[in-house]
């Protein structure tokens, strides 16, 4: 096995896994706080990437300024969606909320296509295009920045949930919303904050994904590939979302290179689900998910 090829494949896998991890993190944040599985999360990722593209390439804003403005705009959209569309459905059957988030996903995807078209667009990546040579392997700098940014994001969120009053309020609401309300926590504000934070994380993922590939409305379907990462790590585990995303990204990339010649094309796409199937047979609640025991 060529070490240089293995290193290059691993770094690329970690970069893609970092994108999956950011998307999965958004799913988990909303689910932990509201017990709503937001199927529109990949579309928020896509919308954030397109807004950043417009601000940076269209309005010629500096990359950092355009990126921050895109984060703010997507956060406002997410807050409005939560307050106007999702919040009135609190207490309704789970299937109703699922169908609403699926509807939101299709509406956002359609509106994005109408506004920006359906052609592939080249995102103005700020990362140097010349690769770095590490132990003889050519490493894409955009991939390295993606990995580092995800690591920083994980540390920030762990500190936020452990030490900040807002983070502690979100954890309390996730544990028991009724008790949190009786203790004086503004549960509605926590619900909105979870959507805002999840949309910000999704936008970060979208910008990195666009830098690694390109912009198009169907890029939101890449977000659905984060679902195995969520199941693998545990639906209610923030570290699990990160670790699950990284595992899936690396496994997909290695399987696509080393096994495709033996098992045929498409092995990369099924690798994630094969891993999830094996893990779920052993740990149905995921690697880091909370184990719930019901006594009858």
CA distance 24 to 104: 18
User: What are the extents of the domains in the chain?
Assistant: 3-128+141-282
Cβ–Cβ contacts within 10 Å for residue 91, how many?
Answer: 7
CA distance 191 to 189: 5
pTM (2 d.p.): 0.89
| 221 close to 42: Cβ distance less than 8 angstroms | yes
pLDDT at 291: 66
pLDDT at 33: 78
DSSP string, 20-53: HHHHHHHHHHHHHHHS---TTHHHHHHHHHHHHH
Tokens representing residue 176 in the block: 């028991």
CA distance 290 to 239: 12
Instruction: Choose the CATH number for 3-128+141-282 among 1.10.3470, 1.10.10, 1.10.357, 1.20.1740.
Output: 1.10.3470
CA distance 19 to 205: 5
Tokens representing residue 45 in the block: 């990722």
Strands (E), the chain: 132-134, 137-139
- The residue to which tokens 């994904």 are assigned: 209
Model confidence pLDDT, tens digit, residues 232-279: 888 878 888 888 999 999 999 999 888 877 777 778 888 888 888 888
| 213 close to 207: Cβ distance less than 8 angstroms | no
pLDDT at 132: 82
In the chain, the N- to C-terminal Cα span, in Å, equals 53
Low-confidence ranges of the chain (pLDDT < 50): 293-296
């Amino acid at each position: 096995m060529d070490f240089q090829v293995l290193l290059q494949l691993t770094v690329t896998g970690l970069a893609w896994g970092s994108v999956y991890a950011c998307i999965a993190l958004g799913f988990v944040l909303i689910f932990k706080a509201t017990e709503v599985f937001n199927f529109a999360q990949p579309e928020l990722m896509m919308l954030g990437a397109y807004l950043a593209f417009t601000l940076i390439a269209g309005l010629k804003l500096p990359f950092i300024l355009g990126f921050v403005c895109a984060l703010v705009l997507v956060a406002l959209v997410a807050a409005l969606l939560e307050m106007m569309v999702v919040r009135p459905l609190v207490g309704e059957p789970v299937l109703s909320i699922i169908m609403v988030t699926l509807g939101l996903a299709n509406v956002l995807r359609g509106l994005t296509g109408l506004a920006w078209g359906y052609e592939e667009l080249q995102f103005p990546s700020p990362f140097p295009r010349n690769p770095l040579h590490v132990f003889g392997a050519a490493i894409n700098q955009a991939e390295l920045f993606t990995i580092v940014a995800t690591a920083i994001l994980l540390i920030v969120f762990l500190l936020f949930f452990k030490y900040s009053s807002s983070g502690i309020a979100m954890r309390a609401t996730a544990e028991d919303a009724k008790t949190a309300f009786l203790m004086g926590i503004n549960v509605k504000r926590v619900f909105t904050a979870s959507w805002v934070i999840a949309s910000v994380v999704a936008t970060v993922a979208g910008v990195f994904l666009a830098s690694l590939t390109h912009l198009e409305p169907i890029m939101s379907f890449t977000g659905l590939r984060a679902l195995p990462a969520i199941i693998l790590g545990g639906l209610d585990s923030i570290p699990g979302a990160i670790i699950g995303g990284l595992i899936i990204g690396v496994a997909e990339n290695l399987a696509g290179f080393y096994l495709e010649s033996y098992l045929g094309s498409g092995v990369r796409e099924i690798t994630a689900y094969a891993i999830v199937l094996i893990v779920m047979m052993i740990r149905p609640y995921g690697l880091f998910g909370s184990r719930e025991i019901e006594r009858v």
